[in-house]
Amino acid sequence: MVAKKAKKHNFYFEIFLGGVLVFVVVGIGAYVQYQKLIKYYEKRIFPNVYLDTVNFGGKTPSDIEKYFSLKNQELLPLKIEVVYEQTPIATFSAQKLKINYAVKEMQSKAFSIGHTKNNLSQIVSSVLHLQDFRFPTTINYDQSLIQDFVDTTQQKYSYPAKNALFKFQSGKVIEFRKEVKGLKINSEAFLKEFDNLIFSLKVNPTSRKINLTSTVIKPEITLDKANDFGIVEEIATGKSNYSHSIAERVHNVILAASKFDGILIPKNKVFSFNDTVGDISSTTGYKPAYIIKAGKTVLGDGGGVCQVSTTLFRAALNAGLPIVERYAHAYRVGYYENDSKPGFDATVFSPTADLKIENNTSAYILIQTEIDKNNNLLYFHLYGKKDNRKITISPVTVYDVEPALPDVHQDDPTLPKGTIKQVDFAATGAKATFNYEVMLNGNILTQRKFFSNYRPWAAVYLVGTKE
């Protein structure tokens, strides 16, 4: 009985030893195959490792380099054009931007599978196709170059918003500035979009255009919030050109214009040029310049003030204001036809000739003057509140043209004998008319024909008699 038990025990033991032996043999075989696998992939990429959609399993890092070197060649001819407000402002070549696939980085990522510590699970998953290892490729470029471009563009095109200024003191606006909207280049959005564009070259390696955008910055204080006079916007501008004026005349133009800068015209009030300009004499700073007096061109204090009245007259016409009083010059003065047809001048001579305009708008009117010394231009800017008035100024009709008078020579004891100085220029006589009509909501506010009668004029020469 004991012998049978021992015999049975030996049978099971032999089976166990056989099983162990098979396991050892299989294990040794598996180990040998594993070592062969490791040896084979020692310098290769394990199976099922992808860069984007390309399987580089079994390839070497050198194969990756060769593949993406060809891809980099495709990028070389590309150009990226930057457009701002529908205008190209910069073009970057791929070479200048150093656009290229990040080969070293991709080699490192692909080769890392199965070649790092504790990598058995990766090897098994790779070899038995239990998992795909996928890595997106990266395209590098010189980001500092684009950052510098954005910084330069920001400096060139961006500017801050400016709040309106309106300071009223002693019946005059002493500080004035209409609000100015600011502008900011959308740098962060552009840099992000540029990154996306570079990334998209993987799918579509073609030259591209990219838009640079900007954002308008609104000022915190607008003109309508800065004053209590109802002034919200510019309603009209008048302009005249004083080219060929002598220095004394230019001085007087600038001085007289300064008297009007910051003046307010109340609603429903008639504004007088003479009342505002005040005394015109050497005691108030004016210099002698040639004026028309008693039918002659003579030196007189304030020559050039009519340039200022003429400019205000033109501004009032453009604003659609009623012209209560206006006088044309006795003859055609070249200064007023530098940039205009005859008939758009207004002479003043206190107390007999004035320029008067009425403010029939719903707000005060602020006068701002501007001198462009480089181009010899005088501007009158009128600020107030626009309504729906429609202004019609007809073309000028010039007729009854007469030839200029014969030259005139006048003795001048202040000039050395033998000196001849031309102080006035010949002008043809003529009549000029134009129609002026202002409508508001279908009603006529103003309807008038302006008439100017210019006498023919002679060139005037001063002849020195001083011994």
Q: In terms of Cα–Cα distance, which of 174, 261, 248, 186 is closest to 216?
A: 186
The answer to whether 397 and 449 are in contact (CB under 8 A) is: no
Q: DSSP class of residue 353?
A: B
Strand 420-424 to 458-466 pairing: antiparallel
pLDDT of residue 233: 94
**Average pLDDT by stretches of 10, the chain with 467 residues:** 55 54 54 76 91 92 93 94 96 96 91 86 86 92 96 95 91 91 96 96 94 96 92 96 91 96 95 94 86 64 89 98 96 91 94 96 96 97 96 97 93 90 87 98 96 92 90
CA 344 vs CA 130, 337, 340, 396, 460: distances in Å: 92, 9, 7, 9, 24
Q: Tokens at residue 128, please?
A: 């038995």
Name the strand (E) or helix (H) holding 3.
Answer: helix 2-40
Sequence-separated (6 or more) residues with CB below 8 Å from residue 307: 240, 242, 245, 249, 253, 256, 335, 336, 378
Output the pLDDT for position 430.
96
Starting at the edge strand found earlier in the chain, the sheet holding 49-51 runs: 54-55, 49-51, 133-135
| Contact status, residue 97 vs residue 145, Cβ threshold 8 Å | yes
Closest CA to 142 of 97, 208, 86: 97
Each as own residue / partner, the long-range contacts of residues 48-51 (CB below 8 Å, 24 or more positions apart, any chain) are: 48/126, 48/129, 48/131, 48/132, 48/133, 49/110, 49/113, 49/126, 49/133, 49/135, 50/132, 50/133, 50/134, 50/135, 51/106, 51/109, 51/110, 51/135, 51/136, 51/137
Residue 30: what pLDDT?
61
pLDDT score, position 19 = 53
Q: Residue type at 267?
A: K
Strand boundaries in 52-126, DSSP class E = 54-55, 79-84, 87-93, 100-101
β-sheet with 323-325: strand ranges across = 270-272, 356-358, 323-325
Tell me if residue 320 falls in helix, strand or coil.
coil
- 197-213: burial string, b at 16+ Cβ within 10 Å, e else: ebeebeeebeeeeeebe
Strand partners, 356: 272, 325
Place of tokens 């003046």: 263
Determine contact, residues 84/90, Cβ cutoff 8 Å.
no
Cα(436)–Cα(396) distance, integer angstroms: 11
Query: How do strand 458-466 and strand 405-416 relate by DSSP bridges?
Result: parallel
Asked if residue 308 lies in contact with residue 378, where contact means CB atoms within 8 angstroms, the answer is: yes
Q: Tokens for 412?
A: 């001048």
Instruction: Give the Cα separation of 374 and 377 in Å (integer).
Output: 8
| Residues 6 or more apart whose Cβ sits within 8 Å of residue 389 | 320, 438, 439, 440, 445
Sign of the C-alpha dihedral computed for residues 143, 149, 155 and 159 taken in this order: negative
Q: What is the pLDDT of residues 256-312, one digit of tens each?
A: 999 999 999 999 999 999 999 999 998 999 988 767 665 566 666 678 999 999 999
How many other CB atoms are found less than 10 A from the CB of residue 308? 28
d(CA 199, CA 205): 10
User: In angstroms, rounded to a whole number, what is the distance separating the alpha carbons of residues 448 and 437?
Assistant: 6
**DSSP structural state of residue 159:** B
- C-alpha to C-alpha distance for 463 and 320, rounded to whole angstroms: 47
156 contacts 349 by C-beta, under 8 angstroms: no
Under a CB-based contact definition with an 8 Å cutoff, are residues 265 and 271 in contact?
yes
**Residue 334 gets which letter from DSSP?**
G
